[in-house]
């Protein structure tokens, strides 16, 4: 008898007639020989033919076994129906949980998408704010420099007009000079603020020039006084050499006046000194011959004669006197 494990595919292969049409008047047996040869070469068919198996009986046996297996499967299914029902419920519960998780993840995805958009928006805003901050810093720096250069402090006005002229006065002139030069800068030419402050700066310049002129003329006039230590006076004038630079920049006529006044004073001083020197040198010239009476410490030798006489030293030390 054939084994019960023989597959049902063998039966299907045995009864597979292909496209055989029994209703047609003409039966086409072309290819039947080839199919028979293939069936004979099949191992299962070859074994069944060798053992003389009845194919119909074998087919009925397989059908009975299949029905038995089907019946057993139904019984097993009925026995496991409760478990299958619970499994079905669990699967449905898992489906619901997975659905909620999917909705939650979709919400997270949408939220992350919105957060990503917000982050990109914040990055764009940050870049824009950085550019604006850089521009504001640059504008603030230029505006600060402009205000610092154009604003006139009340202390500057008071020091220029009323403070005593000392070495600290030079700092006030330097500040005033920087503001006057700023009026000629391109950034201040078209500025209304510069135009408003220009008259005030011009008045301060005139006042500073007047005070510096008066101060320098007094110092130069002091050089003409007799018995004046010229070196000390010149050293004092050197400390205020910036005054001449300021006058040369903003009042060239006054600077020229100061320069000519100084040259005139020094000319007269040197002329007087050299004239006095030449006069004294001329006084030293004498036509009288020098004898022992004109020499200090000369040894007097007495002749001891009755009629000897002594010449009075009338010209003694005249050579050392400046007449």
Per-residue pLDDT for the chain (323 aa), expressed as one digit of tens each?
Answer: 344 334 444 444 444 445 545 455 555 666 777 777 776 677 777 777 677 767 677 778 878 888 888 888 888 888 888 888 888 889 999 999 999 999 899 888 888 888 888 898 899 989 999 998 999 888 888 777 777 777 788 888 888 888 888 888 889 888 888 888 887 777 677 777 778 788 888 888 899 899 999 988 888 888 777 777 777 878 888 888 888 888 888 888 988 998 898 888 888 888 888 888 888 888 876 545 555 665 565 555 555 444 444 545 544 444 444 44
149 touches 178 (CB < 8 A): yes
CB atoms within 10 A of CB 65: 13
Residue 184 to residue 186: CA distance in whole angstroms: 7
For the chain, domain boundaries: 9-79, 154-283
């Amino acid at each position: 008898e054939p084994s019960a494990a023989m597959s049902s595919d063998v039966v299907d292969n045995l009864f597979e007639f292909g496209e055989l049409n029994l209703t047609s008047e003409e039966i086409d047996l072309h290819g039947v020989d080839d199919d028979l040869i293939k069936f004979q070469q099949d191992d299962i068919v070859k074994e069944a033919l060798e053992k003389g198996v009845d194919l119909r009986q074998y087919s009925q046996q397989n059908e009975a076994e299949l029905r038995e297996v089907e019946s057993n499967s139904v019984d097993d299914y009925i026995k496991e129906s409760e478990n299958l029902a619970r499994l079905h419920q669990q699967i449905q519960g898992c489906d619901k949980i997975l659905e909620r998780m999917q909705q939650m993840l979709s919400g997270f995805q949408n939220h992350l998408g919105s957060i990503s958009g917000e982050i990109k928006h914040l990055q764009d805003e940050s870049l824009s704010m950085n550019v604006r901050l850089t521009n504001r810093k640059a504008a603030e720096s230029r505006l600060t420099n402009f205000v610092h250069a154009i604003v006139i402090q009340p202390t500057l006005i008071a020091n220029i007009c009323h403070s005593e002229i000392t070495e600290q006065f030079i700092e006030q002139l330097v500040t005033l000079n920087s503001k006057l030069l700023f009026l000629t800068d391109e950034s201040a030419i078209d500025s209304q603020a510069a135009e408003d402050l220009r008259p005030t700066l011009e008045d301060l310049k005139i006042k500073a020039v007047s005070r510096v002129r008066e101060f320098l003329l007094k110092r130069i006039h002091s050089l003409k006084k007799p018995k004046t230590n010229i070196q000390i006076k010149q050293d004092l004038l050197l400390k205020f050499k910036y005054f001449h630079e300021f006058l040369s920049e903003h009042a060239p006529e006054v600077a020229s006046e100061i320069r000519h006044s100084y040259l005139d004073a020094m000319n007269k001083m040197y002329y007087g000194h050299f004239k006095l020197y030449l006069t004294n040198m001329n006084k030293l010239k004498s036509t009288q011959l020098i004898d022992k009476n004109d020499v200090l410490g000369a040894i007097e030798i007495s002749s001891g004669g009755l009629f000897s006489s002594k010449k009075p030293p009338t010209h003694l030390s005249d050579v050392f006197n400046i007449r």
